[in-house]
Amino acid sequence: MEDEHICIDDIVDHLGADEELPGLVAFYGVFDGHGGTDVAASVHKNLLMFITEDQYFPTSVEKSMRSAFVIVDHTFADSRYLDYSSGTTVLAALIFGRDIVKRI
């Protein structure tokens, strides 16, 4: 199967992060792979890390998500190990209490 998904109800608990976040923060994503499993699996594995390690996280989550998607694209373009015939469409959401930040 080429698709992946992720459901993390508490990213602080999941990442073991010491960072103080404003309330409960959740992350959900669906990775609709096509042409192979490489890209969907890579994005599934790395997207949340790229978001939370961004310099703007957590003060500007929209910037962090935008930056993370650019990094994902560059990582794929620079990799010699991923199958270039594969790809993925991503729907991801970070939920800060009642605030939802999404990226399609």
Where residue 104 falls among pLDDT bands split at 50, 70, 90?
Answer: low
Give the whole-angstrom CA distance, residue 54 versus residue 2.
28
In a domain? residue 83: yes
**CA distance from start to end of the chain:** 21
In a domain? residue 73: yes
Please return the burial class of 20, using the count of CB atoms within 10 Å of its CB with bins 0-12, 13-18 and 19+.
exposed
In a domain? residue 87: yes
Report the pLDDT value the prediction gives residue 18, as an integer from 0 to 100: 67
For residue range 7-31, list pLDDT tens digits in order: 999 998 888 866 677 778 999 999 9
Owning domain of residue 72: 58-104
For residue range 35-92, list pLDDT tens digits in order: 888 889 999 999 999 999 999 998 898 999 999 999 998 988 887 767 778 889 999 9
Where residue 6 falls among pLDDT bands split at 50, 70, 90?
Answer: very high
For 33, the token pair is 């792979």
For 57, the token pair is 């996280």
Give the whole-angstrom CA distance, residue 55 versus residue 16.
18
Question: How many domains does the chain divide into?
Answer: 1
